[in-house]
Each structure stands twice: as C-alpha cells, then as structure tokens.
Amino acid sequence: MGKGKKKYVIISGFTIGNNNRGCDALSIGSIQFMKERNFLHDGDKIIFFRFMNNFLIRDFWIDTKNIINVNGEKWTQIIYTVPKYEKILWDKFHIILPFTRFGRCIRKIACVAAINGGDGFSDIYREESMDRFNYFSYLAIEKKIPLILLPQTVGPFNSESSKKKAEYILRNATQVYVRDKSFANELDRMGIKYEITPDLSSFMLPEAWQIDVKGRAIGINVSGLAYSNTYQNLTGQFSVYPQLIDEIISFFQKKKHTIYLIPHSFNYEQSEPDNDDIEACKAAFENHENKNNIILINKNMTAPEVKFIISKMSFFIGTRMHANFAAIYTKVPVFGLSYSYKFKGAFDANGLDGETQTATINNITSEDIPYIINKISFFYDYRMNEE
C-alpha cells in the first residue's frame, strides 16, 4: 500500500448481525461483488462512523473492529466513533474539520458504495428511512468521492420530493447497478447509464447446519411485517394475511407434505416489535388447528444458514424478498407473496415469470384468498409435473 493510497471504503448499509438476514446477505455479497468489479482490493478496510455525544469519556474513543469471513476470505471492518458535533458541523454547514480523525478518514476514502437495504432507495417504508440510507451518498457527492449504487431496486416513490432526491443521487453516481427493470423507463428518461445484475445475496454461499429435512418439504416464510399488520407506512394493508398463511398450510397438508415455517427477519434474543418473523411463525403454528407435519424453525440462524435451510426445500413460498432470493439462487421452485413491485421485477430479472410466480397481498380480502391459493396450486402443479 503506497504512500497516500486511499485505503478505506464505506459500504453504506453494511451490517452483520442485523435482525433482517436479508441485510446481512446483502452485506456479505457486497464484498464479493465489489472485489470482482475492482472497487475493493486486498488490504482495503471497510469503515463506518458512529456519531456519539460524551466524547470526553475515555471509553468513547474505543472503536469496533470486526473480522468478516466471506466465502473463505477475511476482511476487516472498523467502526470509528466520532463526536456528534462533527456530524452537526457537516449537516448544518457542510464543514469537515481536516485535522480530526473523521476529517483524515474522509480524505482516505476510495469510494462510497450504497446497499440501501436492497429496497431502501424508495419511500415505500418512510421518506426518513430513505434519507438515512443515503446519508453517505450525499456526503460522497459533495466531497467528490466516487459513489457506487450497488444492485438494488430503485423506487417506487410516493412523494415528489423523494423522487427528486433519488434523481439527484442517480445523476451524480459514478456507477449505477440495479437488480431489476422496475424503474428502467424512468432511468432511461433521465439518461442514466445503469447495469442490471443479480441481487448481491447471490454472491453469498449457503452454510450447512445439522437438520434432517424430510422429503417433499414445503418451506413457508411467514413475515412478521405482514402478520403484525402494524409496520410503518404498510400498517393496515395485511388484515387477512394470517388467514392466507393458514390456508396455504392447509393446502399443502392435504397434499401430504411436511411444511417448514422459516423466519428470515428476527431477533432471537428479544423479538422486534411489529416485524419479527419468528413471532409470526410461532403465531401461525399456534393458530393452525391441525399441527400434523408442521415444523417450526426456531433457531438463531445466520443469513448463510437461512439460505441453507431454504435450499433444502422442494418448493418455497416467501413474503420476505430475500427469503425468495435464497430460493431463486439455490434453484428451489419459488412463489412470492408480494407487497411491492420489487417482487415481480426481481423474479423477471432472474429468468422467472413474475406474473405467474407472485401474488399481491396488499389490501386483499378473504374473498381474494382462493384466487391466490389457486395461483400457488397452478404453479406448484406445473413444477411438480415438470420434475
């Protein structure tokens, strides 16, 4: 590493140990993707900043260093603690003090790469969430640091202000990667050059663990977001989702399958309010009258371990997008219960039929459930007859 070489890379949204195993899968996959695209090199360090008060306390200056194993290679992530006043100086006056550690680190950043949670480049949840995801994207643009938008879904945008923010970032990015064509027409209208690639999670390998999976296993990912029906901007859109899950379980029980209820976003130690898949899987199990051949996966799995159990299914139904990706990238026949256009776009982008293999579950009623069950049945019969 020569003198003056920029050795730091910010991967905005990079997280290991997140409740949402999809975010972990994106983070792990981002390292391999960036290495293959020559954005990340041996010896580079992945850094992030934690802005905190009480900087006069000695323990304040203790940083966090993580060693991350990605497909057999080890990478270093360092989380630097920075006094909150430096964030305020940047937020209000766009001033970065050159003599502080924060200022010195910024000068050594080779690029900023943005994951945005895969679907956070949107105000589907909240506009504030989109702003938080893009904090370092704005900084990169202002400081003329190369900005890489890693493969993700762009949009949808409910407000004009969100759309204008997105266009500003897209126009100033060095490289734009998308994982589907959902926003392609708008990108073309803006004159944005982009490349369609698989989702970052495709670069993450499954990790085996000890479990005896029955033959003809059916996996169902039950989403805590939809089951609770009280999550942020999506509150109230999934009133019959518990009934839908109940009837899907019954459908496969009648076919003499073993059903695995598989969580994908959860906190094993303390459940996440309104958004915990283990709690949703438990509720689906408890609320289903006939418990024969239903197996609840209640284990503190890592993202690669979740991908492994999904890879062992003969057929999979997922509500979390990255649960579906785990099936897609391990060649498991999959049907998606969709709450955003990202589902159809992602299925289509990966050579599947988004029209046939997904069903929208927002704002449905009990009368719509037979249609969804029939749609699952049609695709299930087609795939089983094919094999």
Number of domains forming the structure of the chain: 2
Terminus-to-terminus CA distance in the chain, angstroms? 53
Classify residue 48 by its DSSP letter. Answer: E
Under the banding of pLDDT at 50, 70 and 90, the label for residue 17 is confident
Final residue belonging to a domain, choices 144, 172, 203: 203
- Same-domain status, 230 and 374: yes
Q: Is residue 310 part of a domain?
A: yes
Task: Say how far apart CA 132 and CA 127 lie, in whole Å.
Answer: 9
Q: Would you mind telling me the total number of residues written for the chain in this entry?
A: 387
Torsion over CA: 88, 94, 95, 98 (sign): positive
pLDDT digits (tens, 9 = 90+) for 109-166: 999 999 988 888 988 888 898 999 999 999 999 999 999 999 999 998 999 999 999 9
- Same-domain status, 157 and 16: yes
**Percent residues over pLDDT 90 in the chain:** 83
Residue 33 · residue 200 · CB < 8 Å? yes
- Same-domain status, 231 and 185: no
Parent domain of 179:
8-203
Q: What CATH number corresponds to the domain at position 280?
A: 3.40.50.2000
Task: Say how far apart CA 155 and CA 152 lie, in whole Å.
Answer: 10
pLDDT of residue 1: 38
pLDDT of residue 4: 52
- Same-domain status, 285 and 340: yes
Residue type, 163: K
- Same-domain status, 26 and 97: yes
Which pair of tokens denotes residue 380? 């299930």
Final residue belonging to a domain, choices 203, 231, 253: 203
The residue to which tokens 């057929």 are assigned: 315
- Same-domain status, 380 and 347: yes
Burial of residue 48 (CB within 10 Å: 0-12, 13-18, 19+) is middle
pLDDT digits (tens, 9 = 90+) for 290-323: 999 999 999 999 999 999 999 999 999 999 999 9
